[in-house]
Amino acid sequence: MSARPIDGTQIGRQIREEVRREVQELARAGVKPGLAAVLVGNNPASKVYVRNKMKTCEDLGIHSEFVHLEESASTERLLETIDSLNHDLRIDGILVQLPLPRQIDEQAILLAIDPNKDVDGLHPINAGNLLLGRRALTPCTPSGVVEILKREQIPIAGRHVVIIGRSNLVGKPQALLLLRENATVTICHSRTVDLPQVARQGDLLIAAIGRAAMITSDYVKPGAVVIDVGINRVEGEALDRLLEFDPALRPAYERNRSESKNYLLTGDVHVSSVSRVASALTPVPGGVGPLTIAMLMKNTVLAARSRRQV
């Protein structure tokens, strides 16, 4: 048995084309959705993420603004920026790239974003509406996972889903979104007793723990669908150990080396081990990742429609 790879890149492309058509429809009504991305500091990974989001906006016809503050920016300085964007009529969605520098109060920033422009779905009002089953802007990555399951025609209703990870960004909203789809959901974490045994109960297993190649076949029920949300940058001695632990990752590393990249981006799943047990598996990269940006664009259009009542 070898797990069928799920092509998140193709699904992300489908969603972006749907968004493109919506943007064109709104343009005929005189509306152009707008997204503002705020980056504090010069974290290389964050700069790449923001650049990709701005590029996608340009491609889809969404107005975008990039606000870049210095590494030393204070909470007050960022709050002023958020307040300005809240009142900017051209902006329908506000994205503050995380993580923020240590001197900034992250919770104060997330609370300051207008919930109607909170395209990351992290404001307590949106989180509360999700909990209550009401209409809300929802976090992009877990929303993307639901899209993958639906578009791959993987049954959700009545299935037992095990989520490994309880973060506010993925684990918790993922559980609520799947409950909305009538799944039975178990959330696991680092304190779960006999984690592999609990994970093996899942018809669907969602790995969002943030530890490279942690999830082996011991965690997977035969025939289960495995969604790997993890994205881990591994280099140095840790990379040497990882390649020895999971040889299936070596071709990807060799491709990176040919491009002078002495690191590897990998998920939470031990690919060669899990592939022998699961029925389907999302790769990293090329699985859930492309859905995150696609769903951000979709949320921006939803926010534009709601705010402008079109």
- Active-site positions read 53, 97, 120
- 65: tokens are 């603004």
Q: Which residues pair with 263 in a beta bridge?
A: 235
Question: Can you give 128-167 as a three-state secondary structure string?
Answer: HHHHCCCCCCCCHHHHHHHHHHHHCCCCCCCCEEEEECCC
DSSP-assigned states of every residue in 53-97: HHHHHHHHT-EEEEEEE-TT--HHHHHHHHHHHHT-TT-SEEEEP
Compute φ and ψ for 33, nearest 5 degrees.
-60, 150
- 304: tokens are 């534009």
Please write down the long-range contacts of 243-251, taking CB distance under 8 Å and 24 or more positions apart: 245/213, 245/270, 246/213, 246/270, 246/271, 246/272, 246/273, 247/272, 248/272, 248/275, 249/213
- How do 184-188 and 160-164 pair as beta strands? parallel
